[in-house]
Structure 1
Amino acid sequence: MAKGKIILLNGVSSSGKSTLSRELVEKMPEYFHLSVDDFDVIIEKMEDRDKGHLIPVPTEYFFHRSIAMFSDKGVNLVVDQILHDEDTLMDCYKTLKDYPVLFVGVHCPIEVLEEREMKRGDRSIGQAKGQLSYVHRQNEVYDVEVDTSLDDLETILQLIKEKQENLEEAAGWKKTIGEYSRMKLRTL
């Protein structure tokens, strides 16, 4: 069985990943949306955070392996994720290094991010700004980069769909893993 294809959207909170994901799944019904935010709800339901009864493993560990599990069964996914720190980044790379990934960088200016945070009401103001100190700063090589504040949604969807149709030509994920590995070796 061929592995399911993965469209991995990486961007800070409120950058537009979830909206983009939902629209992509609407345009490409052979795909399913999987969000780290939705996955965190599952973990939260299992835990009793008030009593400190917590799962001692980061949510992303289970999330990345779930992506792999779906792909192993031939399920195509649109994944929205925030590769927000080194542990999350390395775990994602390690887990999905041999999977068919179209790597998409989702960008948005800080002013728009802060405005969206205020409108949403379910995010801490400044969360996106804090994530910007790491996200998109690790020599990522994206197959597609979009700015959700400037680019027309239909144009973004068409661009991603076209790149996905030629996934065998997409090399951003593999190049990013290689660049990051070389960068880490230089600092040791």
Structure 2
Amino acid sequence: MPSRTPGRVILLNGPSSSGKSSIGHALLAMLPDPWFLVPVDAVSGMRSTQHTRVLDETEIQEMLRRTRQGYHRVIAALASTGNDVVMDYPLSEPWRLDDLLDVLDRYDVTLVDVRCSEEELDRRELLRGDRPRGLAASQTRVFSHGDNDIIVDTTHRSATDCARDIADRLDAISPPRAFDRLRRARAPQE
């Protein structure tokens, strides 16, 4: 059987309630090839919720870190066998991007920043009712890396419109892409 080229990855990065999941679902119907939508919440949702003991804060943070590192490697595993993947994942901690830059080193990654006004994030968070109040506003670091390939803003645009923008621009992005530039910027200077 001939080996496939590695799959492509679209990383939808933005705060909670910015519309990443909705854009991801809309993208699946627009992209010409089959794609997987793999949100971090799907991987987190596989973890048991019943524990025989209560975890302390340090143990919880370590468990969450392992879960997110595992998520990064799930994405790499899918892409390594030629699957195209849409990630729904906030880069809310600097180590997440650093790890992804290493784990996805050989892959074609398109970094999409999903933006939304703070007022609209607040309104959506309140409507959802399944997130702690203020979570979206607290995720100000998701854009701190300062680079991207595409920016969409869901404040006044639908997820479908934003997905169409991404799908239309995907093949026109010239290298080096944001992940390549970020990787180069983090490389030790000789």
Question: TM-score, normalized by length of structure 2?
Answer: 0.84
Supply the distance in 2 between the matched residues of 1:19 and 1:147 (Cα, whole angstroms): 13
RMSD (Å), alpha carbons: 2.4
- Pick one of 166, 180, 184 that aligns with 1:160: 166
The equivalences for 1:9-20 within 5 A come to 9-20=12-23
Is 2:145 aligned against 1:138? yes
- Unpaired stretches in structure 2, ≥5 consecutive residues: none
Is 2:96 aligned against 1:88? yes
Is 2:34 aligned against 1:30? yes
Which stretch of the first structure deviates more once superposed, 156-165 or 10-19? 156-165
1:2 maps to which residue?
5
Supply the distance in 2 between the matched residues of 1:24 and 1:50 (Cα, whole angstroms): 41
| Structure 1 residue 161, shift from structure 2 partner | 1.0
| Structure 1 residue 94, shift from structure 2 partner | 1.4
1:40 maps to which residue?
44
Matched AA of 1:84 = S
| Structure 1 residue 51, shift from structure 2 partner | 3.5
Contact 1:25/1:31 (<8 A) preserved: yes
Cα distance per residue 1:25-78 (max 9 Å; x no partner)? 1222511100011111112x2762853387745311000000000000111111
Give the length in aligned residue pairs. 180
Matched AA of 1:16 = G
Supply the distance in 1 between the matched residues of 2:117 and 2:53 (Cα, whole angstroms): 35
1:5–1:47 Cα change, 3 Å: farther
Is 2:116 aligned against 1:113? no
1:97 maps to which residue?
105
The equivalences for 1:68-83 within 5 A come to 68-83=76-91
Question: TM-score, normalized by length of structure 1?
Answer: 0.85
User: Identity of counterpart residues, as a percentage?
Assistant: 28
Matched AA of 1:116 = R
Q: Which has the higher contact order (CA 8 A, sep 6+)?
A: 2
Supply the distance in 1 between the matched residues of 2:123 and 2:36 (Cα, whole angstroms): 29
Contact 2:40/2:68 (<8 A) preserved: yes
